[in-house]
Amino acid sequence: MATLDKRTIAGSPASPGKAGPRSEAKPSEAQNWWLAARPRTLPAAAAPVALATAVALGDGRAALLPAAAALAGALLLQIGANLANDVFDFEKGADTEERLGPPRVTQLGLLTPAAVRRGVAAVFAAAAVVGLYLVAVGGWPIALAGALSIAAGLAYTGGPYPLGYHGLGDLAVFLFFGVVAVCGTYWVQALTLPAHVMALSVPIGALATAILVVNNLRDVDTDARAGKRTLAVRWGRGAARIEYAALLLVAYATCPLLWLSGAAPLGVLLPLLTLPFALALARRVAREQGSALNDVLAATARLELGFALLLGAGWLGAG
């Protein structure tokens, strides 16, 4: 499941398992941590919260403080996962001088592995503190969802069976950045979970997974050499491109299906306004590879956020 994405921000990159040298004009400590947080990925955390809150508002069940806490928790979980991926991928040799994606601070030697590990602990601890309030509001379902979310953030590239290294990353992103995020945000405001909320989580999960697919398609060669068996590595570039298109199809088909079934108002068709943008991205995924996909990854994250905002607005406008 990336603001600086120029690889020239530091000197010679590190080799796997060894921090590289810093450049003479090195960035500040704050800039390093900002880079490590990968702010361009944060729309994927904000999108499900925005949608669920708009739907809760349209249903007459919105609650401002739980919604704000859900957003803070989602952002912290995303940042914690980003930091964990940064250090764990470096330690496993997946991030090397051949990396095509945006810079990783551990691999570039901008922060030490120990420092990034402390950052992971601090950010997930902050998420747990926010979670205590949400548990007080939403009870044991939120406690379970929060614990599983933190565990998934760590287990994506860390632990004895890293999900991303065994082809399970796509499923994890769909569940935690789609179903759990949307349903959990709605639950803490309404203390109920209607079927339409679960259905509306599907396109968000599909688009969040599409972001990961672009990432894995870009890194297919370096991941294969590092033993990171993503679906793109297992099935090849062609299958990854088909998967991306299929995920977009799921996202854009869900809305009219909900409307035609009578489960959602006409306003849920509003995200179809972004369809030309999605088709343009699908064409780029079909023909581009390597570092050219960095822009596509960021654009897919923006697509998800725009889709979520329009879907929420369409539901709210019909309320």
Give the model's pLDDT for residue 6.
36
Give the model's pLDDT for residue 40.
86
- Indicate whether 251 belongs to any domain: yes
Domain count, the chain: 1
CATH number at residue 218: 1.10.600
Q: What is the DSSP string of the chain?
A: ------GGGSSSPPPTTSPPPPPTTPPPHHHHHHHHH-GGGTHHHHHHHHHHHHHHHHTT---HHHHHHHHHHHHHHHHHHHHHHHHHHHHTT-S-TT--SS--HHHHTSS-HHHHHHHHHHHHHHHHHHHHHHHHHH-HHHHHHHHHHHHHHHHTTSSSS-GGGGT-HHHHHHIIIIIHHHHHHHHHHHS---HHHHHHHHHHHHHHHHHHHHHHHHTHHHHHHHT---HHHHH-HHHHHHHHHHHHHHHHHHHHHHHHTTSS-GGGGGGGGGHHHHHHHHHHHHH--GGGHHHHHHHHHHHHHHHHHHHHHHHHHT-
- Indicate whether 2 belongs to any domain: no
Domain that holds residue 90: 7-20+27-317
Give the model's pLDDT for residue 319.
54
pLDDT value at 24 more than 80 = no
Average pLDDT of the chain is 89
- Indicate whether 295 belongs to any domain: yes
Mean per-residue pLDDT for 90-115? 82
Q: Are 207 and 247 in contact (CB under 8 A)?
A: yes
Residue 95 pLDDT grade (very low, low, confident, very high; cuts 50, 70, 90): low
Residue 108 pLDDT grade (very low, low, confident, very high; cuts 50, 70, 90): confident
pLDDT value at 4 more than 70 = no
User: 145-202: per-residue pLDDT in tens?
Assistant: 999 999 999 999 898 999 999 999 999 999 999 999 999 999 999 999 999 999 999 9
- Indicate whether 42 belongs to any domain: yes
User: 55-72: per-residue pLDDT in tens?
Assistant: 999 999 999 999 999 999
